[in-house]
């Protein structure tokens, strides 16, 4: 009986992943903070390249940022918010479909290639 429950739980997790469901909303598009994890907020980001909102956490260093899709989290200082976690990336495909990979310069002048939301 334990083996059947174990197999059923694997099927549910694989089914959710295959259907495009995101189990962890960190770095995904949002319209309000209620769509994010308890320790996160929905941040609106506007740059010359893109505009949108995504779930993320406030931070003081990279150590406070989650890894995602095999990429490090990066703490960047954003006007109006302070430190916010972003997912690092090399290409657009490294990000969720609602985000793209862009060079982003934070308030201190630090430049990093990170996933930025592409819509509101």
Domain count, the chain: 1
What are the backbone angles phi and psi of residue 17, rounded to the nearest 5°? -65, -40
Which domain, by its residues, includes 83?
A: 24-117
Give the chain's mean pLDDT: 83
Residue 34 in tokens: 């209620």
- Domain assignment present for 3: no
Q: What is the per-residue pLDDT across 33-61, written as a single tens digit (0 to 9) for each?
A: 999 999 999 999 998 889 999 999 999 99
Q: Is 111 helix (H, G, I), strand (E, B) or coil?
A: strand
Q: pLDDT grade, residue 118 (50/70/90)?
A: confident
Element (H, E) at 18: helix 2-18
Answer whether residue 57 is part of any domain.
yes
Give residue-wise pLDDT tens across range 56-112.
Answer: 999 999 999 999 999 999 999 998 889 999 999 999 999 999 899 999 999 999 999
Grade residue 4 by pLDDT with cuts at 50, 70 and 90: very low
Structure-block tokens of residue 87: 């997912």
Q: Which residues of 50-63 are buried (b: 16+ CB within 10 A; e: fewer)?
A: eebbbbbbbbeeee
9 inside domain: no
18 in any annotated domain:
no
Q: Is residue 6 part of a domain?
A: no
The model's pTM is: 0.79
CA dihedral 78, 82, 86, 88 (to 10 degrees): 70
Share of the chain above pLDDT 90, in %: 68
């Amino acid at each position: 009986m334990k083996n059947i429950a174990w197999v059923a739980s694997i099927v549910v997790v694989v089914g959710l992943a295959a259907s495009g469901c995101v189990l962890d909303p960190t770095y995904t598009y949002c319209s309000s903070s209620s769509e994010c994890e308890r320790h996160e907020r929905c941040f609106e980001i506007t740059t010359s390249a893109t505009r949108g909102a995504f779930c993320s956490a406030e931070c003081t260093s990279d150590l406070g940022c989650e890894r995602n899709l095999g990429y490090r989290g990066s703490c960047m200082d954003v006007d109006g918010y302070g430190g916010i976690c972003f997912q690092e990336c090399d290409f657009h495909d490294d990000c969720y479909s609602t985000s793209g990979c862009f060079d982003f310069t934070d308030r201190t002048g630090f430049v990093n290639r990170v996933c930025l939301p592409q819509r509101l």
